[in-house]
Amino acid sequence: MEGTNPVNKKLTAALSGGAVLVVALSGCSGSASKGNPKLDAWAKTVCDAVPAQDAKIKAANASISKAGDNNTAPDVLQKTDSQAFQDMSDGYKAIAAAINGAGAPPGVGDGAKRQQDVVKNLDSLAASYADLKKKVDALDTKDQGKFATGLHDVASQMAALENQNKSGTEALRNLEQGDVKDAIAKQPSCKKVAASTSATTG
């Protein structure tokens, strides 16, 4: 089983950046401003969609990490990674849908463009993870050598997703400027994600 284990650890390392994107939406603290009720309502719509998806994405990371730590059989590894990629794809797609459904943040200059940049980035990430799931599903678990080679290719593609993650994080931070940041920081659902993230990484 030596062929797949180091590769799955590489896959795990590549995946560790995935959950950072959601944190960008929640790990901010804003100043105590009187706020804009419409913007607060917008922030609530976005933030309320985050905890469940954030948990799903973190659990997907954890399942791949756990599989990488053990001497896991190829068929089990394939099933674990496939489900994890599906969950990540679903998670990012759901957050994109929530932000898209919320519309542009009220009273924010070029808010519509910033909002659509985030949606586009998250949808693109969701599609990339769906593609990785297809690649993992197509791997030959009966042939150890072929499986290890295929998994290596998947890990390389995962590493290439880092730029997409950076781009998505940047788009989220851009959306979060000024009053939007303050409105998001006040939402209990985003605070909850920020707290769970610092507990995990701290």
**Structure confidence by residue, pLDDT tens digits, 58-116:** 898 888 888 776 677 888 889 999 999 999 999 999 999 999 999 999 988 899 999 99
Position 150 in a domain: yes
> Which of 186-192's residues contact partners 24+ apart within 8 Å by CB, and which partners?
186/30, 186/35, 186/40, 186/43, 187/43, 187/44, 187/47, 187/48, 188/47, 189/44, 189/47, 189/48, 189/50, 189/51, 190/25, 190/26, 190/43, 190/47, 190/50, 191/26, 192/51
Position 11 in a domain: no
Write the pLDDT tens digit of every residue in 11-39. Answer: 665 555 555 556 566 554 555 456 789 99
Position 125 in a domain: yes
Write the pLDDT tens digit of every residue in 146-155. Answer: 888 888 888 8
The domain tally of the chain equals 1
Tell me which residue range forms the domain holding 67: 36-201
Position 16 in a domain: no
Position 149 in a domain: yes
Position 107 in a domain: yes
Position 31 in a domain: no
Phi, psi dihedral angles at 102 (to 5 degrees): -70, -25
Position 72 in a domain: yes
- Tell me the whole-structure pTM to 2 decimals: 0.84
